[in-house]
Structure 1
Amino acid sequence: MKQRILLLFTVIALISCKREQKISSTDGSSISNRTQYKENNGVLELKSGNFTYQFKSNQTPFKKIILLNASMAGYISELGAENLIIGVSSPEYIYSEKIQSLIKEGKIQNVGSDQKYDIEKIISLKPDAIFTNYIASFDNAYQLLKNNGIQVIFLDEYMEQKPLEKTAYIKLFGELLGKQKQAADKYQEIEKNYNSLKQLASKAKQRPAVLANEMYGDVWYLPGGKTSVANYISDANAAYILKDNTEEKALTMSFEEVYAKSSGVQYWVNAGNHTSKKEMLGMNPFYGKLDVFNKGHIYVITGKEKQKANDFFESGVVRADLILKDYIKIFHPELLPDYQLTYMKELQ
């Protein structure tokens, strides 16, 4: 689980691979600078990172898909398209009750883990498409799938740092799965909610100081000032300790460096998946030296967690509005007196 939490806030270096011709975002739908798609003479053209794809009208919408990343299940669930999934990897990390039910019924197959995919089973399932993040070490597996006529689509949603741009991938899934209207309606709903919540947060009289993430070994991976965590904190009208930083990746710092920056911090968010402050202190006695540990409020992202599955990494990928709402509730509880946290929980 800690590896999954670290993955959320540490941007993986861009993988070098052959660059393809870019699709101009002015000609079609732009998700972000990384991802755009458009229709051109009956062909759907998609640019995703360093990869481009062309889908003829008889290829989409996809009817049978495989997901190799649990986070993508959030988009499918929001569209109510779980019945299109025929395979997933590492099902123990999927939170969705409906998808888990379909797995138990045998309608969705386990096709391996993030360590090794069951290539023979994937090929036998004959999916229309596989959705995954690109991992260079799996190039041979990807090539085997492509050689068997399987469309492998690499998406970069995990690299997006603007919350609503990460949400916007639902529009791409809607386009590829024939659920364009549902996707557009859902995105507009989340966007409207998010902007309304941001406006509400701007009315707060106080702007508390905030610390984020935790240490792994001797290193504190502190989110850069332009990461999704920093953007959420800013939109919730709080002052992140690295708010003036311009990095879109995590910065590595020693405890001493973080300690020097944490004076006056009132809230510590995204502090892993600990069960109590006592347990947290047992893992790292240095935490006890922080004023925020002793006098402030510490929040972890375990509000919707079942064994290895954490919905923060699933529906939370899409529901930027609910994550922002959690942060506003934390920093400015008076603005949302009747709201109960969705993804986060305060440590006692």
Structure 2
Amino acid sequence: MTKKLFVTTILFSFFACTNTKDENKSSDLFELNFAKNITIQETNNSLIIESNGNKTVFLEAELPISKIMVETTAAIAYLDELEAISTIRGVVDADYIYNTKIGDKIAHKSILEIGNSNELYVETILKHRPQLIIASSNPTLAKYHEQLEQNGVKILYIDEYKENDPLGRLEYIKVFGKILKKDQLAKSKFENTSNKYDSIKTIIQSKGTGNVSTLVNSMYGDIWYLPPGNALQAKLIEDAKGNYIYHDETGKNALNLTFEEVYAAGKNATHWINPTYENLAQMKAAYPNYIWFDAYKNGEIYNSNKRSLPNGAQDYYETGIVRPDIILNDLGKIFYPNLFPNYELYFYQQLK
């Protein structure tokens, strides 16, 4: 589902400055079939990963990377799936990480806390100097990234959250496979999970009646932010034949709507996914007019917080990244319970 990837004139110029002509001839783009926001370029002696304009070059002699600091929980999920938690030396926002292996290692001081969403502890990072920091293109931390790079710290920017296809987000595991020299394991993990995803999707699409419709999220202040119809959340609902009420509203940005606009479109929706509340009483207390919706009246409201910690960390945002098949199975169970009679919800739970 990705565009064809071509070697541009700029990349040829780059390799002309850094490699021999023979190495230029051997350069090759590693094809990613679903991910649209990242490319992998391989030559005889280097690996070049480009993500949203950020380019990171690894020499063959530097691989596999074995000493990593991470700024995102997504990176933890990919590394854990590839049996590489032992490579992690530092994390950001430790209190919001669900993975218990990380908490245990922090307690034993084998993993450091290197910052939060607003600040990186540059001195700590430089003192313990990782081979690599895995970050997102977070403008808040850009000045810290610049400072670290000026001091010779390599940073790989991974923005998997910008992918609109759950298999595109999963496919980033192949990028991690490259830097860890675990290509075959990464390929196997991707194929197994994507095959499971497709199998579940086939069951739903062929046997689901289509007599459901879905509303998502909830009010934030005076605005109801909803994903456009081509966003990741909408894609998951589409694959689960959930008939998202705004599936025709496509674009790059979230829809910013009033309560009245959402009520007009979604008052008869049969299901409501991911409002920011723990139970129905809390919803009603926060905004009494929620009770006007059919989904509220019928109790068909579900959150993806079944696997969560008291501090708010949710496994949906970690394991869910590398196991979209489980998310889809949850949604299939919610929309068409008769299709999965023996399946128990894993990430989602019904609000009571």
Instruction: Say yes or no: TM over 0.5.
Output: yes
Deviation larger for 154-163 or 241-250: 241-250
Distance in 2, Cα, partners of 1:21 & 1:303: 47
* Contact 2:35–2:172, Cα closer than 8 Å, also in 1: no
Distance in 2, Cα, partners of 1:26 & 1:279: 55
Match for 1:114 among 110, 113, 117? 117
Corresponding position: 1:235 with 2:239? yes
Instruction: Give the equivalent residue in structure 1 for 2:31.
Output: 29
Q: Secondary structure at the match of 1:194?
A: helix
> Aligned in 2, Cα 1:22/1:292: closer, same or farther, shift over 3 Å?
farther
Q: How many residue pairs align between the two structures? A: 328
Structure 2 counterparts to residues 1-348 of structure 1, below 5 A: 21=10, 27-30=29-32, 32-202=35-205, 203-272=207-276, 274-307=277-310, 308-348=312-352
Amino acid across the alignment from 1:309: A
Q: Secondary structure at the match of 2:119?
A: coil
Amino acid across the alignment from 1:29: E
Amino acid across the alignment from 1:310: Q
Distance in 1, Cα, partners of 2:10 & 2:249: 32
Structure 1 length-normalised TM: 0.90
* Contact 1:22–1:47, Cα closer than 8 Å, also in 2: no
What is the CA-CA distance between 1:22 and the residue it aligns to?
A: 6.2
Q: Please identify the structure whose Cα radius of gyration is greater.
A: 2
Structure 1, unmatched stretches of 5+, are 1-19
* Contact 1:265–1:296, Cα closer than 8 Å, also in 2: no
* Contact 2:214–2:273, Cα closer than 8 Å, also in 1: yes
Distance in 1, Cα, partners of 2:185 & 2:268: 45
Distance in 2, Cα, partners of 1:84 & 1:207: 47
1:104-151 CA deviation, whole Å, 9 max, x = no partner?
111111111112111111111110000011122323211221122110
* Contact 1:226–1:247, Cα closer than 8 Å, also in 2: yes
Distance in 2, Cα, partners of 1:167 & 1:83: 21
Distance in 2, Cα, partners of 1:79 & 1:215: 38
Distance in 2, Cα, partners of 1:293 & 1:144: 50
What is the CA-CA distance between 1:253 and the residue it aligns to?
A: 0.3
Distance in 1, Cα, partners of 2:209 & 2:293: 25
Runs of 4+ off more than 3 Å: 20-23
* Contact 1:271–1:301, Cα closer than 8 Å, also in 2: no
Distance in 2, Cα, partners of 1:138 & 1:93: 18
> Aligned in 2, Cα 1:200/1:109: closer, same or farther, shift over 3 Å?
same
Q: Secondary structure at the match of 2:115?
A: coil
* Contact 1:29–1:38, Cα closer than 8 Å, also in 2: no
Structure 2, unmatched stretches of 5+, are 1-8, 13-26
> Aligned in 2, Cα 1:44/1:189: closer, same or farther, shift over 3 Å?
same
Distance in 1, Cα, partners of 2:67 & 2:130: 5
Amino acid across the alignment from 1:142: H
> Aligned in 2, Cα 1:340/1:42: closer, same or farther, shift over 3 Å?
same
What is the CA-CA distance between 1:263 and the residue it aligns to?
A: 3.4
Q: Secondary structure at the match of 2:116?
A: coil
Distance in 1, Cα, partners of 2:11 & 2:290: 47
* Contact 2:36–2:163, Cα closer than 8 Å, also in 1: no
Q: Secondary structure at the match of 1:221?
A: strand
Amino acid across the alignment from 2:64: P
* Contact 1:42–1:57, Cα closer than 8 Å, also in 2: yes
Structure 2 length-normalised TM: 0.89
Distance in 2, Cα, partners of 1:144 & 1:248: 31
Q: Secondary structure at the match of 2:55?
A: strand
* Contact 1:66–1:87, Cα closer than 8 Å, also in 2: yes
Amino acid across the alignment from 1:73: I
